[in-house]
Structure 1
Amino acid sequence: MSLAKTLWQDNSDLATRILGHGFVRGLADGSLPIHCFKGYVAQDAYFLESFARAYAFCLAYSTEREDLQTFADLIAGVRAELELHKSYAQRWQVDLSAVNPLPATNAYVVFLMQTAEQGDLGETVAALTPCMRLYAYLGRSLQTRDVAPLYREWVETYADPDFEKLAARLEALLDRHAGDTAPVRANYRRAMELEHGFFDASL
């Protein structure tokens, strides 16, 4: 089994907890209060900008031509997510220009930036991969249910096969550049924990 699959399996406890989280359940059945979703959109837009910067660090560290293209495509994927958040913000009057990050958001951003700045490509990819794999997992899992109309667009975005392809490409980078080391495992686990904390802070 590949390292990416091994790490995902070894952290399935957190993936299951997040799927059952009140915020995620509320997305599926439409019971999530609009003010919670608006807050999440603002925080996630702030986070995604740092996520793109971490990808940019990876692009700078990479030496293989194929990696340059993949990281460029992954950055483009983040840009597409930010456009979705912009559409949410316009629909529900959310100001994305002056977001004050919550402690959970700030902790995630600091973790990513500090990891990226250390310059180890494999360890940085290990910190980035959980977000992509988790959201693809949430989208696909929720899509199998009777999703309420209010947040259906969110579910469809992350259930989209194109998003799954990006997640798989990032996992391929993890398999290529990361070893099964303590720092890689720690970064993957920490990112999953921070994902859970991010949803906690959004309720």
Structure 2
Amino acid sequence: MSLLERLKSAAPEDWNAYVDHAFVRGLGDGSLPQAAFRNYLVQDYLFLIQFARAHALAAYKSRTLADMQAARGGLAAILDEMGLHLRVCERWGLSAADVEATEEQQATVAYTRYVLDVGMSGDLLDLQVALIPCTLGYAEIGRRLAPDGIDAVRADHPYRDWIAEYSGDAFQQAGKAAHDWLEDLGRRYGSDARFGELVGIFGKAARLEADFWQQGLEAARAGA
């Protein structure tokens, strides 16, 4: 069993609360309130800024050229995602200036700073375990929301562009690269003695992902 599958099996409630959150189900069937999605779009861009920093930290933590190249690939994927994200924001009437001028909300700060703290205090495997729920969770969600491909999603679906981004080949390939690197790091630096600690990091990151979805729903209910 891969390290990822072992982590998911050891923290099933945390993982399922994230990938099967009400926000995700609303994205899939189109019932998600648009106010929740707008809040999410803005906060997710601010989130990605901090995750770019975390991938840069991964390069710093690397001790081999191969790891530095893998970290660079992850950073490039995040920066590409940020560009795509801003284009989605613009289609929703949110300019880059407006997005960048918005303050981070509590769940955004909690999650991103947790990942950066894990990276600063731990090693490269710790950091990748903290990062991986984001990358591979979104890849799993993208596949789940478009199991037959994006062409099978109705043209008037309000969140079709978002689903297309995360179910598309580019993001799925980025997810595969991240998964491969996790497994490689696990073989080199993992051990049975460390597994409980890694589960704790993984589960916490997944719970913070669920809190990030919930933040969007609560903002919509509050009229934000």
Per the alignment, residue 83 of structure 1 pairs with 83
How many corresponding residue pairs? 203
Counterpart of 2:213 in structure 1 is: 199
Q: In the alignment, what sits opposite 1:130?
A: 133
Aligned partner of 2:168 in structure 1 is 160
- Which runs of structure 2 are paired with 1:32-181 in the superposition (5 Å)? 32-94=32-94, 95-144=98-147, 147-148=153-154, 149-178=157-186, 179-180=190-191, 181=194
Q: TM-score, normalised by structure 1?
A: 0.91
Partners in 1 of 2:160 and 2:36 — Cα distance?
16
Instruction: State the one-letter code of the partner of 1:22.
Output: A
Mapped to 2, the partners of 1:90 and 1:164 lie a distance apart of 24
Matched position secondary structure for 1:100: coil
| CA-CA distance at 1:172 after TM superposition | 2.4
**Which structure has the greater CA radius of gyration?**
2
Aligned residue for 1:29? 29
CA contact (8 A) 1:4 1:172 kept: no
Stretches of structure 1 that go unaligned for 5 or more consecutive residues are none
Counterparts of 2:24 and 2:34 in 1: how far apart (Å)? 13
Task: Please report the RMSD computed on the Cα atoms of aligned residues, expressed in angstroms.
Answer: 1.8
Structure 1 letter corresponding to 2:140: Y
Name structure 2 gaps, 5 residues minimum.
218-224
Tell me, yes or no, if the aligned pair for 1:50 and 1:112 is still in contact at 8 Å: no
In the aligned structure 2, how far is the partner of 1:88 from the partner of 1:162? 16
Q: TM-score, normalised by structure 2?
A: 0.83
Q: Name the CA shift for 1:131/1:8 in 2 (closer, same or farther; >3 Å).
A: same
